[in-house]
Every structure is written in structure tokens, then in C-alpha cells.
């Protein structure tokens, strides 16, 4: 059976840590597992290379930037392989291209199109551990393309899918997925497991441990993903298993609370209600590449409607530039901008069937004197926008209200 392991930049940040990773991999290989290891560049290499590029050209060409970035993972994969060989564990290092990872040619944020596993299978057949340079693949013209944010996690899960791995293991500097950020709520528990859809919501709400893109792949291909600390021993009960399969029976509880600080909101008040408002507003925003997160529209008064939507802080300025004139065209009474908000989300596959969760959420926040500015829901998520300075408190209030510190 094949497993795929992924180690991030911090896990291989120094030669000592790199050797430590090699020891772990060699130990698993000795147990008889066929292993593919995906590595990121060592430490801050990627950032350093980007700085080097910008020192030469403030707007470096994307193709050559990717070529430059790709060397980081080539160095770490070559060194990790050398360490494995030194420990008596036969291994080979493959670039993304050599591992058969094919992408489009959107340099800097390429998407994987497919993976041809012939080389990896050949190496496995010779009893080799295969170390793959993460974050990269080969464009149609044979150029290096890097995968953008969450690239190495995505490489790992995609390889897992292509190799029909029994599990993908993402090694990082935290113990696993928690009921909430332990830095906000000290009583937060590390979950033993979590459903893929719950993990996806959490990742999309900025949970930070894994990129949503990689989680989504795992869900799509039904691959279990273990998220664990690179410091702890394997099999010691370390980590959270993202279960992979779509849930047949929902768990009927709140799994985790996410806090997303990357939020800004726009409200157009008292727009004369008529067909076409939404497309007149969101069309231009989409054309400008602004990703609209949450949209809430409700009737305010007679044939007037209020429209509120949120964007990320990166898109804040562009959103204001576009919204002001559009608000005028739409006949809105005024436009309100607010970037002092955060999103607090309850996530859990069982919640849609039980009305009590929303009620408990709203009441707990209200009892704590925390005003809810906006509410949106999905099948497995209830999100409230609250004032930024009440955000962490809101997390603690909800963590306690749903007794998440206790294992059920």
C-alpha cells in the first residue's frame, strides 16, 4: 500500500530537521510501506528567492519567477533523498515534472491538470522511496509552473489520488485540527477526526492549517488525510484524520469554530428593488477580479432593499472604487463601508437538521453583549459577522456554549 507524506518548509528548515524527517520516513519505509514524500523548500527559501528576483526586477516575469521558485523544492528534495540514502533507505528525488505532474501555464498559480505516475511506479518497483519536489509541475510547453497558495498540500493530495494512496499525511507544526484556535481558547481540544466537508468549511473560513484547495481534492477523490505534528511519533495517536468519505450519517454536533479576520463589508442601503440589481453590482466586481464572499439581501421598506456583501481586505480598495459609483447608478440611498468586522463560524455536519444550533449561537452571543451584524449559513456552517474587537471573545463564548472542551 502506498502512502504520501508531506513536510512543509519549517519541518525541513534546517539540516537537523531535515535529517529528522529522513529518520521518520526511513522508519515507515522499514515497516514495508511504499512512500512518496512531498517536500516544500527549506525554511524561508521561497520568500528569499522572491526577494532576490525583485531586487533584479521589481515586476519579474512570471515564467522565470516560477523557474527560480522551483529550485527551492529541488534543493530540499535532493538533500532529503541524500539523507535517506545515507541512512540506508534507497530513495530518488523527482522534480514535479519527473513525477508526472502536469499543469496549465498560469505561472504563479498553476492548476494541476493530471498526473502520470509511470516514473513513480517504476521507482516504487525498485523499492525506492520517492521524494517529490512539491509546489510545482510541468506546463504544456515544458516549463516549470508553481501552484500558488497551498501548493505543496495540493501536490501531496493530488499525488495521493493519482497513486491511489491509502492515506495522505500532512506534517506541520501543530498537533492537528482543534475545536478552535488554541491561542484564542486554551481549552480547545485537538480533534481525533473531522469530516472532509467540515474541514473544507474550516479551511475556507481561514483556519489555516491546510489550504481549502487541497482539502477539496481530498473530498473529491475520497482520500483520508492525516494532519499531524512533524515532531511527534507516528502512531502515537498524533494528529487529526480528515476522513475523506462523504458523510452518510451526520454527526449532529458542532465540530469546530473558525475565526476569519480577513473581512470587510459593503452595504448599499435602500436600493429601489427591481430585477437586475445583483448582476449590475456583482458583474463589474467579478470583472475586476474581486471575489465576493458573503451576500445578504433583504427587503428594508416598501420596494426598497438593502444589500450587504463581504470581500477580503486585499480587495478592499478596489471594491470601494467600484461600489461607490455603482451605488449611485443603482439609486441607493447610501453606501456603508465597514472593515472592522470578523467572521465567527460554527462548523459541523449535523447542524442543518437541528434548529437548536442557530438559536443557541445567537442567544450565547447576545447574552455576552456581542452584536451580530450579519448572518449567513451553509448546510454545515453558521456564520455571524461581529465587531473585530469582540471576535476572540465570541469564539470563547461559543466554545463554552457548545461544550467543545469536552470529548463526547
The answer to whether 92 contacts its own copies (rule: CB under 8 A) is yes
Closer Cβ to its own copies, 82 or 388, answer by number: 82
The answer to whether 377 contacts its own copies (rule: CB under 8 A) is no
Contact residue for its own copies among 10, 20, 98, 280 (CB under 8 A) = 98
Per-residue buried b or exposed e for 357-380, using 16+ beta carbons within 10 Å of the residue's own CB: beebbeebbeebebeebbebeeeb
Contact residue for its own copies among 32, 88, 142, 275 (CB under 8 A) = 142
Least spacing, CB of residue 56 vs its own copies, in Å? 5
Segment near its own copies (CB under 8 A); pick from 53-61, 260-268, 300-308, 378-386 = 53-61
CB 309 within 8 A of CB 220: no
The answer to whether 82 contacts its own copies (rule: CB under 8 A) is yes
Contact residue for its own copies among 43, 44, 50, 60 (CB under 8 A) = 60
Closer Cβ to its own copies, 143 or 315, answer by number: 143
Closer Cβ to its own copies, 86 or 222, answer by number: 86
Contact residue for its own copies among 4, 29, 83, 188 (CB under 8 A) = 83
Q: What is the spatial order of strands in the sheet that 34-39 belongs to?
A: 91-94, 129-133, 34-39, 2-7, 167-172, 225-229, 240-242, 193-194
Least spacing, CB of residue 59 vs its own copies, in Å? 8
Segment near its own copies (CB under 8 A); pick from 67-75, 219-227, 259-267, 396-404 = 67-75
Contact residue for its own copies among 75, 174, 232, 388 (CB under 8 A) = 75
CB 138 within 8 A of CB 129: no
Segment near its own copies (CB under 8 A); pick from 66-74, 195-203, 298-306, 337-345 = 66-74
Closer Cβ to its own copies, 144 or 178, answer by number: 144
The answer to whether 120 contacts its own copies (rule: CB under 8 A) is no
Scan residues 9-28 and list those touching its own copies (CB under 8 A). 15, 18-19
Contact residue for its own copies among 61, 114, 127, 237 (CB under 8 A) = 61
Question: Which residue, 196, 177, 187, 179, is CA-closest to 256?
Answer: 179
Contact residue for its own copies among 30, 47, 52, 127 (CB under 8 A) = 52
The answer to whether 50 contacts its own copies (rule: CB under 8 A) is no
The footprint of its own copies (CB under 8 A) covers 15, 18-19, 49, 52-53, 55-58, 60-61, 63-65, 67-68, 70-71, 74-75, 77-79, 81-83, 85-86, 92-93, 95, 98, 119, 142-143
Amino acid at each position: 500500500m502506498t502512502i504520501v507524506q508531506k513536510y512543509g518548509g519549517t519541518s525541513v528548515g534546517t539540516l537537523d530537521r531535515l535529517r529528522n524527517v529522513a529518520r521518520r520516513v526511513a522508519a515507515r519505509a522499514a515497516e514495508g510501506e511504499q512512500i512518496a514524500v512531498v517536500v516544500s523548500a527549506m525554511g524561508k527559501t521561497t520568500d528569499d528567492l522572491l526577494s532576490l528576483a525583485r531586487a533584479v526586477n521589481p515586476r519579474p516575469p512570471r515564467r522565470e519567477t516560477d523557474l527560480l521558485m522551483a529550485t527551492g523544492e529541488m534543493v530540499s528534495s535532493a538533500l532529503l533523498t541524500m539523507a535517506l540514502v545515507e541512512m540506508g533507505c534507497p530513495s530518488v528525488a523527482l522534480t514535479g515534472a519527473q513525477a508526472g505532474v502536469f499543469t496549465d501555464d498560469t505561472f504563479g498559480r498553476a492548476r494541476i491538470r493530471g498526473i502520470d505516475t509511470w516514473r513513480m511506479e517504476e521507482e516504487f518497483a525498485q523499492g525506492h522511496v520517492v521524494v517529490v519536489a512539491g509546489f510545482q509541475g510541468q506546463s504544456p510547453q515544458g516549463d516549470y509552473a508553481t501552484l500558488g497558495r497551498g501548493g505543496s498540500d495540493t501536490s501531496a493530495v493530488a499525488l495521493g489520488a493519482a497513486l491511489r494512496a491509502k492515506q495522505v499525511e500532512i506534517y506541520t507544526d501543530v498537533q492537528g485540527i482543534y475545536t478552535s484556535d488554541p491561542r484564542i481558547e486554551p481549552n480547545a481540544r485537538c480533534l481525533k477526526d473531522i469530516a472532509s466537508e467540515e474541514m473544507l468549511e474550516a479551511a475556507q473560513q481561514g483556519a489555516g492549517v491546510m489550504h481549502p484547495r487541497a482539502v477539496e481534492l481530498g473530498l473529491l477523490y475520497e482520500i483520508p488525510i492525516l494532519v499531524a505534528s512533524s515532531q511527534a511519533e507516528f502512531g502515537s495517536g498524533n494528529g487529526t484524520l480528515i476522513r475523506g468519505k462523504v458523510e452518510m450519517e451526520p454527526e449532529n454536533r458542532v465540530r469546530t469554530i473558525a475565526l476569519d479576520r480577513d473581512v470587510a463589508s459593503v452595504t448599499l442601503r435602500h436600493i429601489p428593488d427591481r430585477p437586475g440589481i445583483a448582476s449590475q453590482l456583482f458583474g463589474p466586481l467579478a470583472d475586476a477580479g474581486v471575489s465576493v464572499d458573503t451576500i445578504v439581501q433583504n427587503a428594508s421598506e416598501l420596494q426598497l432593499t438593502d444589500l450587504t456583501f463581504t470581500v477580503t481586505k486585499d480587495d478592499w480598495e478596489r471594491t470601494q472604487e467600484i461600489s461607490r459609483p455603482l451605488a449611485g447608478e443603482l439609486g441607493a440611498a447610501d453606501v456603508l463601508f465597514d472593515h472592522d468586522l470578523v467572521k465567527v463560524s460554527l462548523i459541523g455536519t449535523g447542524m442543518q437538521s437541528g434548529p437548536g444550533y442557530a438559536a443557541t449561537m445567537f442567544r450565547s452571543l447576545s447574552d455576552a453583549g456581542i452584536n451580530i451584524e450579519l448572518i449567513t449559513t451553509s448546510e454545515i456552517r453558521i456564520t455571524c459577522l461581529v465587531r473585530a474587537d469582540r471576535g476572540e471573545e465570541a469564539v470563547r463564548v461559543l466554545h463554552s456554549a457548545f461544550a467543545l472542551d469536552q470529548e463526547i
